[in-house]
Structure 1
C-alpha cells in the first residue's frame, strides 16, 4: 500500500475514470477532480465497491483552463496524472475555443505542480495527434514516440480544418508540458502518454447513450447503422492499458522522463461489426453484415518503447471490442429500466 497521494484531473470522464480506478487498485490514495459535487457523488456511488473507503477524496475544479485552477487541488500531492483536456466541437475561434484552452489547461496544472514541493512525478495524457504528420500518412511511414506533429500555432490559428486544429492543440499542449518540465525550478519528473482512439469498456457514469464518449461511440457506431460507418481513425488501444501505463509511467524509475506512443492495434470498422455479430447473438439484427476489410492502406506505428520499458502486453483488439460492446449493452438495458 502506498502513502502517495495522486491527483487525477478529469476523474469523471472516460479515461479519467479508468486512470483513477487503476491507481486505487494499486493501493494509492487519489484526489479526483470533478466539475461539480453532484458529478463526484454519482461517480463515487457507481464505484464504491471497487476501492477501500477513505482512499478517494475530491477537488472541485469547474474550469481546468482557468488561472490557478489547480492551486488548491495540488496541495500535498506526490503524483499528478493530468488526463483532463478541454475538448468540444463548437469551435468558432481556433485560438480562443481550442488552442488556448488546451495549452492553458496543461500549463496551469504543471505550474501548480511546479510550485508544490511535494510533487515528485507528473504524467500527462497527450495524444497520437501530437505525433502524427498530416503530410506523411502513407504506408511507407512509421510513427514512433520520437515523432512530433509539425503544426505551428500560427498554422493552426488560421486553419479551417477542425481536425487539424485539434491535433495541433494536443501537440502544443504537450510541448508546453515538456517546456515547463525542463525549467530549472521544476523538481518533478515528467512522462507523457500518446494514445490513439481509445476503445474498451466505458466505466464513467453514463446517463444517456447519446452522451457516450466519442471513442466508445466509434465502436457502438456499428450498431443500428444502415451501413458500416467509415473508420474515423484506424489505430486504437484499450482504455485499461492506457490507464495502467499512466500508473507505470508515474510510479517507476524507468517510466520517468519518457514519452510513450501507446498504440496496440490497427483496425477497420468492418472488423468491429464482424466481432459484434459473432460474439453477441442479440446484435445480429442490429449490425449490418459486410465483407471484412483490412481498411485503406495507411501508416505504420511503433509502440515498442512501452513494451520494452515495462514488459507490457496489450489487450487484443477483439477482447477490447467485446468488452466495450458488453458494457454498453449492459448500460443500454439499465437505461431502459
Structure 2
C-alpha cells in the first residue's frame, strides 16, 4: 500500500485514477476545489473510511505555495499523482490564463513536495501529446512520434492564440518539471504521461451532458444528430481510453522502471467517421440521428498521417489498450445514464 496525494480528484481522468488507486489498495488524499465536490466523491465511495480516502481543499492551484499544506500528511505521502491543470476556453490573456497557471501549478507542487514532503519518492504528472506533436508540420505523413519528440513552439507563437497557448502550456509545464528534477535533485523521481485525445465513459456522479470533457463532446454531438449532414473534422487522429490512461498513471507510480521517463499513452488511430459508425451499429435508437455512410467529413486525411510508437507504455507499464469500439460503446452507455 502506498499513501498517495491525487490532485484534481473531480476531473475526468482523475476520477478514474482514484477508482484504480482504491482498487489497488492504496490510501488516497485527493485535492478538490470545493467541499461540495468532496462530498460527491465521498458519497460515491462510501465503503472507504477516512484512512483510505480523504480530501484537502486547494481552491486555486495557480497560486504560489498552493500545495504547501496539501502535501503534509499523517501518515506521510510516498507518491503524488498530479492531474490538475487549469484550462479556460474563453481566453483573453494567454499568458495569464493558460501559460502561468499550467507552469506555476506544476512547478509549485514540485517545490512544495521538496520543501515539505521528504518521504515522497515518485511524482506522476499528466502532460499531453500536445507537448510531443509538432503542430507546424501538419499531418506529417510517415513521421513516427515517440517520447523523444517535443513540441518546439516558442513563447511568441504561444501567445498568438488560445490553441497555440494550450499546446504551449502543456509543453512548457512538462519541460519545467524536467528542469526542476535536473536542477534541484529532489528526493523523488518523476514520470510524465503524454496522452492524445481521451475518450471513454464519464463518471456519472461528477458529470452532466453540459459539463463534458472536450474529447467526449464529439460523441455526445453525434448522438444528438449534430453530425447528420456534415461530420466535423477529427483534428487529432490518436486517442486513448480514459481507463487505460488512469491505469497508466497508477502503474507509473507503482513500477520502479517508470522513474524519470516520459510515456506516450495512445491506443492508436481513430476518426469521427468511425465513432459515428460504431454508435450507429451498436445503438439502433440513435441510427436516425447518425450520419450515413456517404455523409461528408470526419475521415482520415488523404495525404496520410503521422505514425506513433507506444512501445515504452506497453513494455514498462504493461498497458493493454481498449478497442475503439468498446470505448465508444461504454462512453455512449455512460452518456445515456445522464440523459443523452
User: Smaller-chain TM-score range?
Assistant: over 0.9
Distance 2:262 2:207 in 1: 35
Tell me the CA shift for residue 152 of structure 1.
2.2
Deviation digits for residues 217-236 of structure 1, max 9, x if unmatched? 12222112143222132110
The alignment's TM-score, normalised by the length of structure 1, stands at 0.93
The alignment's TM-score, normalised by the length of structure 2, stands at 0.92
Q: Pick which of 287-296 and 274-283 moved more.
A: 287-296
Aligned match of 1:151 in 133, 153, 161?
Answer: 153
What is the aligned partner in structure 1 of residue 164 from structure 2? 164
What is the aligned partner in structure 2 of residue 247 from structure 1? 250
Q: Pick which of 279-288 and 236-245 moved more.
A: 279-288
The alpha-carbon distance between structure 1 residues 262 and 207, as it changes in their structure 2 partners (threshold 3 A), is closer
Deviation digits for residues 4-29 of structure 1, max 9, x if unmatched? 21111110010110111111110000
What is the aligned partner in structure 1 of residue 105 from structure 2? 105
Runs of 4+ in structure 1 off by over 6 angstroms are none
Tell me the CA shift for residue 54 of structure 1.
3.6
Q: CA RMSD in A?
A: 1.7
Could you tell me which runs of 5 or more consecutive residues in structure 1 were left unpaired when the two chains were aligned. none
User: 1:67 is paired with a residue of what secondary structure?
Assistant: coil
Deviation digits for residues 84-140 of structure 1, max 9, x if unmatched? 000011211111111111101111111111112011110000000000002333212
Deviation digits for residues 220-271 of structure 1, max 9, x if unmatched? 2211214322213211000001110111111111111110001112111111
Could you tell me which runs of 5 or more consecutive residues in structure 2 were left unpaired when the two chains were aligned. none
Aligned match of 1:288 in 278, 291, 305?
Answer: 291
Q: Pick which of 283-292 and 98-107 moved more.
A: 283-292
Q: How many residues align?
A: 328
What is the aligned partner in structure 2 of residue 56 from structure 1? 53
Query: 2:127 aligned with 1:126, yes or no?
Result: yes
Q: Do the aligned partners of 1:206 and 1:212 also contact (CA within 8 Å) in 2? A: no
What is the aligned partner in structure 1 of residue 82 from structure 2? 82
What is the aligned partner in structure 1 of residue 6 from structure 2? 8
Distance 2:255 2:206 in 1: 33
Deviation digits for residues 67-91 of structure 1, max 9, x if unmatched? 1111111112111100000001121
The alpha-carbon distance between structure 1 residues 286 and 52, as it changes in their structure 2 partners (threshold 3 A), is farther
The alpha-carbon distance between structure 1 residues 182 and 239, as it changes in their structure 2 partners (threshold 3 A), is same
